[in-house]
Structure 1
Amino acid sequence: MSKKNDEIKTFYKGLGFCGFGIGSNTAEVDVKDGKVLRIRPMKFDKKYKQEELNPWKIEVRGKTFEPKMKTLLPPFSYIYKKRMFSKNRVLYPLKRVDWDPNGERNTQNRGESKYVRISWDEATDIIANEIKRIHKQYGPYAILSQGDGHGETKAIHGPHGCQKNLLELLGGSTTQARNADSWEGWYWGIKHFWGCEPIGQGLQKNMWWDVSNNTKMLLYWGCDPETTPWGWGGQNPSRLCRWFKEIGIKSVFISPDLNYTGAVWADKWIPVIPNTDAALQLAIAYIWIKEDSYDKEYVATHTVGFEPFRQYVMGEEDGEAKTPEWASKICGVPTYTIKALARKWAKDATTIGHCNGGSYIRSGYSSEPARLEGCLLAMQGLGKPGRGQLKFIEFGQYGLHEYYPCPKSKVIPNVGGAYNGATYDISGQFLPKTLIPKAILGDWTVENPMTWYGVTSSGFPADDQFVEYQYPIEEGGSELHMIWTDTPCWTTCWNGGNSMIKALRSPKIEFVLAQHPWLENDCLFADIILPVSSKFEQEDIACDNQSGAFNSLYYEGKCVETRGEAKSDYECVCEVAKKLGVYEEYTKGMTYEDLIKRGFEMSGCQTLMSYEEFREKEICVVPTDENWKDVVPGFGDFANDPEENPMTTPSGKLEFTSENLSEYFPDDEERPPHPKFIPFGKTHQESYLHPRSEKYPYLLVSNHPRWRVHANMDDVTWLREIPTCKMRGKDGYMYEPVWINPVDAKKQGIAHGDVVKLYNERGWVLGAAYITERIMPHVIYQDHGSRLDPIVTGESDRAGANNLICPTNTVSQHCSGEVTSGFLVGIEKADELELAKQYPEQFNRPYCPHSGQILTSRVIENK
């Protein structure tokens, strides 16, 4: 904390919203009289001279790209103070009114019941007694620790598993293992082509420099850098898009929607029908093989298994050549466009850009377009200058040199030493996040267990995908009977939310405990809710290793006093630990200052300054490595010498036909040894080519949202004033926009602003029609992650939480990843005033007339 004058104090805060202490949205927070005045970019030159940081510089064609001397904050950071005072803040411990731990639990009323305020003493007594009872009756594995996923960026105080550490002291728990969510196709597919542990995306070292100097055409394949990284990567990707345009790199966008980046920077938009990217990719490969325009020498020396792939592409395997004419009928891209794209790609050095991967990487059978992307890159000499895969935000939290697309620093700060959450531990019982509803709703026993392959977390190696796991485990295993969550947004962020609602209301789950700052989403199904403090109300330590500017570590002071009786996630667990008699053992006697110091001493920055200097300066910014230009970009080392620089595949080379898939799953028709176009199968029928499309004739694209971070920030009134964020219905409610092409709108009799109903056999959600030519015909678009506002609980939702009606099934038979985009729905005009008559209680909940924001209204004031 540093004084600007006698009245205003300025604090550093990392306002990221995924992960723990690794966000790049680092801000300066000005506070006066205990109130937040403003949030501003953090300026590096307030603490450092520019020459001390050795800023990297990329110079191309008389233009220069270099880091700013301040952080580049997205809107989410500037408006965070608004969320701190949301009407939906949970300020006191709450108990569901019709849940009695000593009597009727009424699990069927979860999601509909109201809450009454209780004391911390009563709440922690109930929690401690329930844990003891569950342990005695079922054993420790009967408690599910949901400590992963989409939460705020905090280290000491953050979510992501503080409760798991406590439960481990008591004998263990069932761990919810996070799936690869935004990385599904990379994790389940392309890892078997090129390895690239831990996440599967391509080697990223020095890629910004390589693309700037060598790439002629950049394919933004399902990629929206103007939107996707806002929650954790700031706005440097936006600068990068502008830079590539300024230096003359041709920008081609391939996606069903003309996204926000494409609307500004696209030289050409190629609309493609969801779930058909694989057909387009195969047709490009066909042109190259037929016209002899691929890099045959590279394929011969750097890859294995090309011949079976070639036979499939040319139709020798199944009798159907994957021609542009064949693909065009499937993917909706004109034949001439496919041919032109293939020929230009073969002629000019081309890189494919991603921000995690886009919605096509989170669709059914996403392993196939991911693998095919690798195949196409390999056919044009992957790793040669300008030919690679670019990720628009760096992934510094892995601490791996290979995951730096921009010039690297000498030190990669990491605050893991201060982190109080739990890492994934599969020594006991665990469940993939995507399989939680199936686990709860099934009747599983040790003799008749649920089985799957792979831990499913992106950090695990590819070989783990061939290990079979089971629930319940053989030794001490138990079905679930209690859930303790600190990231309560499963229903609105993962696959098949209505199935999860059904699971949360199951009588099998006797106790649901949630801790969260806001009464939203899964909190509505909790029996006890503990109030969690906001980022501004906590003292912590954080680092920035994703912005692409400078890596930094900084101290986060407590800006304002805590509202109500809220406590941090860590403190919530500490209160329960006290009632269980293990507080000292849990905290190890460490104060917050001790934890901050431990984080610093394990951060890497301890090699640059002392802890005393760090606490005085409150920040450590790491200079750019003097030799950053000497780092060979991306796959360059492999391209130059594949024998000395092998991939992490079994062969050490790029595998058109996977040796592991051939050995372990040779007969898997949904993820075969070499990639194929799979329109539908046993697991999914989300395709226009399947008869199911006659009943549900539109494919829904659901991307990362523009105006929130997954399910975070949907109640910020300032954002709701933006027309592309929410649209006001005739009833005053603010509905989630649904993009629909004018052709389809006319066919359905839908006008701009009309409330519409999206439906399939899994349920229905509402939205407001946003008629635009930025979505291709026969496809509709609605962001994922809208705040839950049930009409009929487990069946319908007013706010447009379309994760409720996405497939419950995972990527494919042997791939337990999420599927949250590219699924079939019907759409029809709805009358919100008539619906209000049909569902008067649900449509008459109090909301702010200005913002259309539904208020909590679930808390019964104590008399």
Structure 2
Amino acid sequence: MTEHRPHSSHYGAFHAAHHPGEDRLSLRPDPGDPEPSPLLRNLPAFSRARVDRPYVRRGWLTRGPGPDPERGRDAFVPVEWDEVVPLLARELDRVRTTHGNSAIFGGSYGWGSAGRFHHAQSQVHRFLNHLGGYTRSVNTYSLGASRNLLSHVVGDDRSIVEPTSYLVLAEHTELFVCFGGMPAKNSQVNAGGVSRHTAAGQLRAARARGARFVLVSPLRDDLADDLDAEWIAPLPGTDTALLLALAYVLLVERRYDAAFCATHVTGFDVFRDYVLGGADGVPKTPAWAAAVCGVPADRIAPLAREMAAHRTLVSLSWSLQRAHRGEQPIWAGIALAALLGQIGLPGGGFGHGYGATAGTGAGLLPYGLPTLPQGTNPVPDFIPVARIADLLLRPGESYEYDGQRLTYPDTRLVYWTGGNPFHHHQDLARLRRAFTRPDTVVVHEPFWTATARHADLVLPATTTLEREDLGAARQDPVLIAMHRVAEPRGQARDDYAIFADLAHELGVGEAFTEGRTARQWLAHLYEGWRADLPPEHRPTEDFDAFWRAGRVTLTGRRTRHTLYERFRADPKRHPLATPSGRIELYSATVASFGYDDCPGHPAWLPPPAPDPEFPLWLVANNPATRLHSQLDHGPHSAAAKVAGREPVRVHPEDAAALGLTEGEVVRLRSAVGSCLAAVVLSDALRPGVLQLATGAWFDPSAPEVATCVHGNPNALTADVGTSRLAQGCTGQHTRVAVERLTAPPPPVRAHQPPPIASR
């Protein structure tokens, strides 16, 4: 397939051709993209890490289903498709008939492909629903705390889904105060794809107009250098204290918008009493905050005054809530914006997630996209997504979540497609133990990730380049025909073909496939979607014309977030979906839950006292060279590694105190585990803070040296929820020690296949 064909990815649209004789991919970014993502360079990832055929773990094949401590350590036996399909079908049938459908956990995180039909999450859920349902997960690792909190404070998550666009911010915002930053690296990606990367350009336009930027983060490069931002570097996880001190200044100096608070806010008196110290005897003064977060008190009050004097955006990154009591900085940030009284004004108020994805701030289409129907799941059981290890380790135990007391089902079979929990999850040694507990673990994967290595049945899945699909996102004005670029490797099949075979084996084939091939599904989804659109937004191209053209333009993308504009204009006619109809600085509902880890108003809830054994902070943020852990073995990701391992950035002052040198491989150790990483010196960090990106494939091949020898920071982070309100992920920060190695480091084996055995 040497002709360049249109395709799409989460990090951009492109045209590509595969040259079989050289086993080489040539790729051209979309010519209309002003700043194509360098992540496209990872796509030519042909490697030994590919799963070339079906495999069954040797212990499971010889001893049958059951908990097994060898899972993740055992060899795999190659089998044929005509053997593995009936084998897996029998196991699915055994579990659902013996233990009930709640004993099946359907795992998928949704980032497997930009395609809407070969969307792994939709495929596995549709299949399991046709078998009678499954235990599911809710929320995400990215926003585990925020979505629950926002439902109580502002009524829904539309401030995440449809924030004010960068176009409006670039024209109206005078002061951007960016808590957690707006990192350009994250704006390279978007679920479903992005045809034009525009976020960085819009921020530059705002700066050229005269807007000022203030970055609040322990990492200086959480905002682009060309924005000339002032850098305020608090200690990790202390943003809530700083936000409360800013609110204190507005209150005591009467710089807050009293009229807005009287008409658009509920709980103002409770929040004011807490900030001024009436509730706990501790006024949240700049001096108090300085002692907590390390920001000088004489910088806090002037910033509050400047915010009150200008059209100000309080920008709250997703990273803020991926930490201990992560609900609190988001709530405190909304409270600060409410005191400023600019919510609903163009370019003012608060934003949650600018810089998180390319789609955030790009606008939103007023209609849906072609989507594979998943059917109905009759099983009521669910878990917050970041509680997967608890689900497997604590069957039958109860836990609290958003005012409910729930029980973990007894999971016997885990079915995972399109995701890698050994990237997303924390305390990977504990997750390894958890994965030994089910009877059976099934994974569809193109590559030998750590999740595939911890499975019993590994089914080889095609990559996006090896199949056809529809690429689209509601934040993007283009629907792309994703043509197949290369033939499937080895015996790989797409998820739909695998599930169709299993469905036929289990007697639900016709219901699952509806008699359609994958190509027929694409035409069916496209034409059904097109017919349902309002006439003014309906493409004139039928499916065949669309497929030949390679794309159609989608019209009507909204650039203003009218929810808060209408609410500001008339809160009685356009109330929020909260019990009061207003912004809730005090939530009687949350207070009624009685959670000491999430009271009824924003509060500073200090983390446990630091252990002197772990004197340094580690920030474990998203990588710049890959999407999560995808294609970690790709050329762009590999080029950023040092000595074959993930780099850990260290401030020169800390490196000098520890005797560390550039490029040296060190061991990072926390209360839960350890990992190896290579030192890179950088003054773009607050002293006392290290930074190690997520996404290096977990490599536990030398446990006598480290939990992970490749540099996965989730070998270090603790598996605890943000609070009982949301049970979100807290993997952004942890405390660590750094140790020099006394022997040469072991080799990295993360990208090599596991041991292969004969029967």
TM-score by length of 2: 0.92
Does the alignment pair 1:522 with 2:461? no
Counterpart of 1:53 in structure 2 is none
Task: After superposition, give the CA deviation of every residue in 1:554-610 in whole Å (9 maximum; x if it has no partner).
Answer: 322222211110011121222222332332232110122321122213435862324
1:99 aligned counterpart, secondary structure: helix
| 1:299–1:306 contact (8 Å) kept in structure 2 | yes
Counterpart of 1:65 in structure 2 is none
Q: CA deviation at 1:820?
A: 0.7
User: How many angstroms apart in 2 are the aligned matches of 1:426 and 1:171?
Assistant: 7
Which residue type is aligned with residue 140 of structure 1? N
Does the alignment pair 1:352 with 2:314? yes
Counterpart of 1:26 in structure 2 is 13
Counterpart of 2:403 in structure 1 is 466
User: How many angstroms apart in 2 are the aligned matches of 1:583 and 1:71?
Assistant: 45
The alignment yields a C-alpha RMSD, in angstroms, of 2.7
Show the 5 A alignment for 1:202-217. 204-205=163-164, 207-217=165-175
| 1:26–1:71 contact (8 Å) kept in structure 2 | no
Does the alignment pair 1:580 with 2:498? no
User: How many angstroms apart in 2 are the aligned matches of 1:173 and 1:624?
Assistant: 37
User: How many angstroms apart in 2 are the aligned matches of 1:167 and 1:573?
Assistant: 9
Counterpart of 1:145 in structure 2 is 106
Q: CA deviation at 1:633?
A: 5.4
Task: After superposition, give the CA deviation of every residue in 1:251-293 in whole Å (9 maximum; x if it has no partner).
Answer: 1111111125344424211101111101101110111111111
Which residue type is aligned with residue 79 of structure 1? N
Counterpart of 1:567 in structure 2 is 493
Which residue type is aligned with residue 41 of structure 1? P
Q: CA deviation at 1:169?
A: 2.5
Q: 1:758 to 1:752 in 2, by over 3 A?
A: same
Which residue type is aligned with residue 348 of structure 2? R
Which residue type is aligned with residue 491 of structure 2? E
1:693 aligned counterpart, secondary structure: coil
Structure 2, gaps ≥5 residues long: none
Counterpart of 1:38 in structure 2 is 26
Q: CA deviation at 1:793?
A: 5.8
Show the 5 A alignment for 1:237-276. 237-259=199-221, 261-276=223-238
Q: 1:289 to 1:105 in 2, by over 3 A?
A: closer
User: How many angstroms apart in 1 are the aligned matches of 2:664 and 2:475?
Assistant: 40
Does the alignment pair 1:496 with 2:423? no
Task: After superposition, give the CA deviation of every residue in 1:283-314 in whole Å (9 maximum; x if it has no partner).
Answer: 10111111111111111111111111111111
User: How many angstroms apart in 2 are the aligned matches of 1:170 and 1:559?
Assistant: 33
Counterpart of 1:98 in structure 2 is 59
Structure 1, gaps ≥5 residues long: 1-6, 17-23, 44-68, 398-403, 454-464, 473-478, 729-733, 837-842, 847-853
Which residue type is aligned with residue 497 of structure 1? L
Counterpart of 1:450 in structure 2 is 398
Counterpart of 2:623 in structure 1 is 705
Does the alignment pair 1:76 with 2:39? yes
User: How many angstroms apart in 1 are the aligned matches of 2:252 and 2:715?
Assistant: 45
User: How many angstroms apart in 2 are the aligned matches of 1:589 and 1:529?
Assistant: 26
Which residue type is aligned with residue 263 of structure 2? T
User: How many angstroms apart in 1 are the aligned matches of 2:756 and 2:272?
Assistant: 66
Q: CA deviation at 1:116?
A: 2.6
Q: CA deviation at 1:170?
A: 2.6
Task: After superposition, give the CA deviation of every residue in 1:153-174 in whole Å (9 maximum; x if it has no partner).
Answer: 2222231142333333233322
1:807 aligned counterpart, secondary structure: coil
| 1:614–1:620 contact (8 Å) kept in structure 2 | yes
Q: 1:386 to 1:554 in 2, by over 3 A?
A: closer
Does the alignment pair 1:696 with 2:614? yes
Which residue type is aligned with residue 399 of structure 2? T
| 2:56–2:79 contact (8 Å) kept in structure 1 | yes
User: How many angstroms apart in 1 are the aligned matches of 2:710 and 2:6?
Assistant: 34
Q: 1:394 to 1:255 in 2, by over 3 A?
A: closer
1:108 aligned counterpart, secondary structure: coil
Task: After superposition, give the CA deviation of every residue in 1:112-163 in whole Å (9 maximum; x if it has no partner).
Answer: 2222321111221321222233234323322211133442222222311423
| 1:128–1:576 contact (8 Å) kept in structure 2 | yes
1:201 aligned counterpart, secondary structure: helix
Q: 1:368 to 1:761 in 2, by over 3 A?
A: same
User: How many angstroms apart in 1 are the aligned matches of 2:611 and 2:681?
Assistant: 22
Show the 5 A alignment for 1:531-680. 531-547=460-476, 551-604=477-530, 607-611=538-542, 612-623=544-555, 635-662=564-591, 664-665=592-593, 667-680=594-607
Show the 5 A alignment for 1:741-756. 741-756=651-666
User: How many angstroms apart in 2 are the aligned matches of 1:180 and 1:322?
Assistant: 32
Counterpart of 1:130 in structure 2 is 91
Counterpart of 1:222 in structure 2 is 180
Which residue type is aligned with residue 582 of structure 2? K
| 2:105–2:135 contact (8 Å) kept in structure 1 | yes
Counterpart of 2:249 in structure 1 is 287
Show the 5 A alignment for 1:716-795. 716-721=634-639, 725-728=640-643, 734-791=644-701
Counterpart of 1:401 in structure 2 is none
| 2:667–2:675 contact (8 Å) kept in structure 1 | yes
Counterpart of 1:476 in structure 2 is none
| 1:161–1:486 contact (8 Å) kept in structure 2 | no
User: How many angstroms apart in 1 are the aligned matches of 2:120 and 2:62?
Assistant: 26
User: How many angstroms apart in 1 are the aligned matches of 2:376 and 2:621?
Assistant: 27
User: How many angstroms apart in 2 are the aligned matches of 1:203 and 1:147?
Assistant: 24
User: How many angstroms apart in 2 are the aligned matches of 1:152 and 1:426?
Assistant: 27
Q: CA deviation at 1:624?
A: 5.0
Q: 1:360 to 1:832 in 2, by over 3 A?
A: farther
Does the alignment pair 1:162 with 2:123? yes
User: How many angstroms apart in 2 are the aligned matches of 1:293 and 1:554?
Assistant: 50
Answer with 32-41 or 267-276: which moved more.
Answer: 32-41
Q: CA deviation at 1:369?
A: 0.5
Which residue type is aligned with residue 503 of structure 1? A
2:677 aligned counterpart, secondary structure: strand
1:727 aligned counterpart, secondary structure: coil
Q: CA deviation at 1:759?
A: 1.6
| 1:189–1:366 contact (8 Å) kept in structure 2 | no
Answer with 783-792 or 289-298: which moved more.
Answer: 783-792
Task: After superposition, give the CA deviation of every residue in 1:798-853 in whole Å (9 maximum; x if it has no partner).
Answer: 111112331211111332111111222222222451xx5xxxxxx3566xxxxxxx
Does the alignment pair 1:362 with 2:322? yes
User: How many angstroms apart in 1 are the aligned matches of 2:320 and 2:376?
Assistant: 27
| 1:98–1:106 contact (8 Å) kept in structure 2 | no
1:252 aligned counterpart, secondary structure: strand
Show the 5 A alignment for 1:318-329. 318-329=280-291
Percent sequence identity over matched residues?
A: 24
1:570 aligned counterpart, secondary structure: helix
| 1:40–1:78 contact (8 Å) kept in structure 2 | no
User: How many angstroms apart in 1 are the aligned matches of 2:350 and 2:72?
Assistant: 44
Q: 1:590 to 1:661 in 2, by over 3 A?
A: same
User: How many angstroms apart in 2 are the aligned matches of 1:395 and 1:79?
Assistant: 18
Answer with 774-783 or 104-113: which moved more.
Answer: 104-113
Q: 1:37 to 1:755 in 2, by over 3 A?
A: closer
Counterpart of 1:86 in structure 2 is 47
Counterpart of 1:19 in structure 2 is none
User: How many angstroms apart in 1 are the aligned matches of 2:547 and 2:635?
Assistant: 36
Q: 1:442 to 1:524 in 2, by over 3 A?
A: same
Counterpart of 2:739 in structure 1 is 828
User: How many angstroms apart in 2 are the aligned matches of 1:426 and 1:268?
Assistant: 52
User: How many angstroms apart in 1 are the aligned matches of 2:404 and 2:34?
Assistant: 43
2:472 aligned counterpart, secondary structure: strand
User: How many angstroms apart in 2 are the aligned matches of 1:825 and 1:200?
Assistant: 35
Q: CA deviation at 1:496?
A: 2.9
Q: CA deviation at 1:324?
A: 0.6
Q: 1:621 to 1:278 in 2, by over 3 A?
A: same
Aligned length: 745
Which residue type is aligned with residue 688 of structure 2? H
Q: 1:414 to 1:380 in 2, by over 3 A?
A: same
Which residue type is aligned with residue 415 of structure 1? P
Does the alignment pair 1:374 with 2:329? no
